[in-house]
Amino acid sequence: MSIQPAFLQGLRPTLHISHRGGAALAPENTLEAFRRAVEVFQTDMLELDVHVTQDGEVVVAHDDTLERCTDGTGALARYTLAEIQKLDAGYGFTPDEGRTFPFRGQGIRIPTLREVLRAFPSLRLNVELKPDVPGHEDLFARLLEAEGAVERVCIGSELDAVGERLVARLPRACHFYPRDALASFVITLRNGESPPEDPRFTVLDMPLYFGELRLVDAPFLRECAARGKWVNVWTVDDPGEMRQLLEEGVGGIMTDRPDLLRQRMDATTKPG
């Protein structure tokens, strides 16, 4: 069994994880969303995504284009940080399918990763590096090292090539499985076989369902734990599913509804 990274030491299930800060309640991947998750819903961890600007700054955003969440257009990577931070990152958020846009014009902008690290200096983060651009992993790693944040982030990518470059650059950090390695691990384990040991990755950030098949259950979690692996499930917004996952002892629940998850977790811990 591989040695647990410092990120996981002392953690106990189940973690309240706000997906993009709680994307159903506030503009995703913004300081506004992150502060609400931390201050109002006492989240244990923030899940977020990062890209790199034209001038090499690491910024927090999910999409590689700007249209969905901001009043900008085109590829994020074509803009400098100064240009990016002139955009309205609250522009696209709507709680009612486009009838209202309550965060427009409120001064909300795309934050840098450095800003987020400094705004929440003791909080753990789950961070995905989005683009497959060799060299971006070094910019990302140098920032984490400069901010003294390597031990409080779990990092990775959906893309196996990017995930592997991150492991090579930050071998002592906590890394979540990239897509193909994750699929191999999960399929093998659910087929009752022993998956190949890969000490590079210790966290499974995974969907709850594949089609109609529920991937995570108590036996699956026990098998993962026996192999030293931690399981976070995304993106769970249904209170019934939250309750079942809490009963099963999942490592963490990633949700766009940190309000509902907090209610369910509080109800679960109360006597009776």
pLDDT in tens, 132-164: 999 999 999 999 999 999 999 999 999 999 999
Contact between residue 242 and residue 41 where contact means Cβ atoms under 8 Å apart = no
- Asked whether residue 73 is assigned to any structural domain, the reply reads no
| Res. 4 pLDDT band, cuts 50 70 90 | confident
pLDDT at 272: 41
Summarised one tens digit per residue, pLDDT across range 41-95 is 999 999 999 999 999 999 999 999 999 999 999 999 999 999 999 999 999 999 9
Residue 269 has pLDDT above 70, yes or no: no
pLDDT at 6: 94
Residue 263 has pLDDT above 70, yes or no: yes
- Asked whether residue 203 is assigned to any structural domain, the reply reads yes
pLDDT at 27: 98
* CA–CA distance, 7 with 213 (Å, rounded to integer): 30
For the residues 245-261, what does the mean pLDDT come to? Answer: 98
In this structure, what DSSP letter does residue 72 have?
A: -
The count of domains in the chain is 1
Higher pLDDT, 196 or 63: 63
pLDDT at 270: 55
Q: Which two tokens stand for residue 147?
A: 């901010």
Average confidence score pLDDT of the chain: 96
pLDDT at 86: 98
- Asked whether residue 130 is assigned to any structural domain, the reply reads yes
- Asked whether residue 89 is assigned to any structural domain, the reply reads no
Residue 2 has pLDDT above 90, yes or no: no
pLDDT at 196: 85
Q: Which of 6-10, 106-110, 193-197, 223-227 has the lowest mean pLDDT?
A: 193-197
Domain containing residue 250: CATH number: 3.20.20.190
- Asked whether residue 228 is assigned to any structural domain, the reply reads yes
For the residues 183-211, what does the mean pLDDT come to? Answer: 94
- Asked whether residue 84 is assigned to any structural domain, the reply reads no
- Asked whether residue 50 is assigned to any structural domain, the reply reads yes
Q: Which residues 6+ apart lie within 8 Å of 27 measured at CB?
A: 33, 69, 89, 90, 92, 93, 103, 108
- Asked whether residue 97 is assigned to any structural domain, the reply reads no
Helix (H) or strand (E) holding 243: helix 239-248
Summarised one tens digit per residue, pLDDT across range 19-37 is 999 999 999 999 999 999 9
Residue 271 has pLDDT above 90, yes or no: no
* CA–CA distance, 237 with 132 (Å, rounded to integer): 29
Structural domain for 165, as ranges: 6-54+122-269
